[in-house]
């Protein structure tokens, strides 16, 4: 996994390179964790890919983030 910033994760969503699943109720299956964002209170975001190669981003510290990472 590569460390990144939340700004870069938001930029990926804005450019259409990833899908934001921060508040999704049904999360796609995880194939590989690619990037994470961490601050002084721990991990606060991340990006992962599914089996089909689609990228998904979680930008906030919520239950979805802790289910995946």
| Strand ranges, E, within 1-69 | 2-4, 19-20, 32-39, 42-49, 55-58
Structure-block tokens of residue 68:
């995946």
pLDDT digits (tens, 9 = 90+) for 54-68: 999 999 999 999 999
The predicted structure's pLDDT at residue 6: 96
- Torsion from C-alpha of 30, 36, 38, 43, nearest 10 degrees: 0
Structure tokens at 60: 């906030």
Query: What pLDDT, on the 0 to 100 scale, is given for residue 34?
Result: 95
pTM value > 0.85: yes
Helices of type H across the chain: 6-15, 63-68
């Amino acid at each position: 996994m590569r460390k990144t910033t939340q700004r870069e994760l938001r930029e990926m969503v804005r450019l259409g390179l990833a899908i934001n699943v921060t508040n999704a109720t049904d999360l796609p299956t995880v194939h590989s964790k690619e990037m994470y964002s961490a601050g002084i209170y721990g991990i606060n975001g991340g990006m992962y890919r599914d089996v089909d190669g689609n990228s998904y981003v979680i930008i906030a510290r919520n239950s979805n983030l802790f289910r995946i990472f």
